[in-house]
């Protein structure tokens, strides 16, 4: 979810679901240790519960970043061992770490020794074209026993390290939900969260019969209103009190606050494009919010136009 699940996206999602745990986009240890820490770690208090996803492989660096995460108030640290991009591979982390379970275990232990926060691992069921369940079973066993990790988020596809783009790695390798189910059966004391290919709430409910949790990425991003009944359906909470109009209005107020401090509101509005997916008038609504000419004006005026209550001819337009 690089460049997708930023703080603006998470603010929108938190308006729709109060209890679902949100995850940051992956932040590398190098970016935190040598870059702009506030830019990478700052978040709105409304985003809790919130996990920081880290990319890295050096235990000492991971421990230092874990301390930063604790200082900034995150609720969880998640180590990414599933990203297949070549850039990540050149940094010797992501999915290629599945071939080094002892190193992953050392990194997890270093973070757990450094902070009191839960440390979790996100990984694939395999790398390249290997089809052995024993590979992922041994990876989990090593990281749990040596590193003390108790929660594994499992993308139920292999990561092909050569020959596929990151997008293709989310679609081409076959889904193996049965591998994740077997992990839960073989390690009943551990927590397993299934990820990959989830396309609807009924499918989430079906998978929760076999595993402890489900992580959803693309569905939540492209159709955020799919999350509207999660608090009630999966967490036993009250029904969502807001409708789509109310969520849009609250997010527009958020964008106005961004604009007031000099942050272009278009950085945030792009995450809202799927809010009215499947609704009458959704195409016009998306077109307005995607119109770059409107970004020089007010987000409230864009909302009026998107709802058919204004005229583009009278809207402030960029040159």
State the catalytic residues: 83
The per-residue b/e assignment along 282-311, b for 16 or more CB within 10 angstroms, e otherwise, is: eeebbebbebeebbebbbebbbbbbeeebe
Residue in this structure with the two tokens 């195409």, named with its chain if needed: 283
State the virtual CA torsion across 148, 150, 156, 159 in degrees, nearest 10: -20
Distance of CA 211 to the CA centre of its chain: 19
Decide: helix, strand or coil at residue 158: strand
Residue in this structure with the two tokens 């090593």, named with its chain if needed: 142
Cβ atoms within 10 Å, residue 30: 15
Nearest to 176 by CA among 236, 135, 234: 135
Beta strands in 19-150 (DSSP E): 22-23, 27-28, 50-55, 76-81, 119-127
């Amino acid at each position: 979810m690089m460049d997708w699940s930023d703080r603006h996206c998470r603010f929108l999602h938190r308006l729709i679901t109060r209890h679902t745990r949100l995850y940051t986009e992956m932040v590398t240890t190098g970016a935190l240790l040598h870059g702009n820490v506030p830019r990478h770690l700052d978040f709105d208090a409304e985003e809790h519960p919130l996990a920081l996803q880290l990319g890295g492989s050096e235990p000492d660096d991971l421990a230092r970043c874990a301390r930063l995460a604790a200082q900034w108030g995150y609720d969880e640290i998640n180590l990414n061992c599933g990203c297949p991009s070549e850039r990540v591979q050149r940094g010797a982390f992501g999915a290629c770490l599945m071939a080094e379970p002892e190193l992953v275990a050392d990194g997890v232990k270093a973070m757990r020794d450094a902070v009191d926060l839960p440390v979790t691992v996100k990984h694939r069921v395999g790398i390249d074209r290997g089809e052995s369940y024993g590979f992922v079973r041994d990876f989990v066993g090593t990281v749990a026993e040596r590193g003390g990790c108790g929660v594994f988020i499992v993308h139920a596809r292999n990561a092909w390290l050569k020959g596929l783009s990151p997008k293709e790695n989310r679609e081409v390798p076959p889904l193996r939900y049965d591998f994740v189910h077997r992990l839960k059966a073989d390690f009943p004391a551990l927590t397993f969260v299934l990820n990959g290919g989830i396309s609807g709430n009924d499918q989430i409910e079906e998978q929760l019969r076999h595993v402890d949790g489900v992580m959803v990425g693309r569905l939540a991003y492209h159709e955020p209103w799919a999350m509207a009944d999660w608090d009630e359906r999966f967490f036993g909470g009250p029904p969502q009190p807001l409708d789509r109009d109310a969520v849009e209005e609250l997010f527009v107020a958020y964008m106005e606050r961004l604009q007031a401090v000099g942050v272009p509101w278009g950085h945030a509005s792009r995450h809202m494009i799927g809010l009215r997916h499947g609704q009458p008038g959704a195409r016009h609504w998306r077109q307005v919010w995607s119109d770059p000419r409107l970004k020089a004006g007010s987000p409230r005026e864009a909302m009026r136009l998107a709802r058919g209550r204004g005229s583009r001819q009278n809207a402030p337009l960029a040159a």
